[in-house]
């Protein structure tokens, strides 16, 4: 893979920063909804189950967003250190197309695939 050009670096940096903002906004919006369901509240049994189901979905979304935010922060840091775009496992260039799709990606496609297979 080619090294990233300066224009590509700048484009991905802008992507990272707006992604970070978006994730932070989503997390602060959902922080209220993530409060435990109040089981004493006089709502029907079905709607209580609905509420609990909704809440566990919300929790899963939140932890996915938190994880992604961590990766975004890591990528912003690597950019500052001039290491951005290198696979954190094998050191190869991750490549612009992949970074454009996932600017926070810490690994190249091959290493990501290996990690997912390993679980
Ligand atoms: Zn790699």
Q: Where are the domains of the chain?
A: 6-118
For the chain, which ranges sit under pLDDT 70? 1, 32-43, 119
CATH top-level class of 6-118: mainly alpha
CA of 87 to the centre of ligand 1 (A): 5
The alpha carbon of 21 and the centre of ligand 1 are apart by a number of angstroms equal to: 27
The reported pTM is 0.79
User: DSSP of the chain, one letter per residue?
Assistant: -PPPPHHHHHHHHHHHHHHHHHHHHHHHHHTTTTSPP-TTS---HHHHHHHHHHHHHHHHHHHHHHHHHHHHHHHHHHHHTT-TTB-TTT--B--HHHHHH-TT--S-HHHHHHHHHH-
Cα(110) to ligand 1 centroid in Å equals 6
The whole-number pLDDT of residue 73 equals 97
How confident is the model at residue 60, as a pLDDT?
A: 93
User: pLDDT tens for residues 39-68?
Assistant: 666 667 778 888 889 889 989 999 999 999
**For position 119, what pLDDT does the model report?**
67
Distance of CA 93 from the midpoint of ligand 1 (Å): 8
How far away, in angstroms, is 89 Cα from ligand 1 center?
Answer: 5
């Amino acid at each position: 893979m080619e090294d990233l050009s300066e224009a590509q670096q700048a484009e991905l940096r802008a992507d990272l920063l707006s992604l970070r903002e978006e994730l932070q906004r989503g997390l602060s919006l959902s922080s209220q909804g993530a409060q435990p369901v109040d089981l004493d509240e006089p709502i029907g049994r079905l709607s209580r189950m609905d509420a609990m189901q909704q809440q566990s979905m919300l929790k899963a979304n939140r932890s996915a967003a938190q994880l992604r935010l961590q990766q975004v922060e890591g990528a912003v840091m690597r950019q500052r250190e001039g290491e951005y775009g290198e696979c954190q496992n094998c050191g190869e260039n991750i490549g612009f197309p992949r970074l454009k799709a996932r600017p926070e990606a810490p690994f190249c496609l091959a290493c990501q695939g290996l990690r997912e297979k390993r679980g």
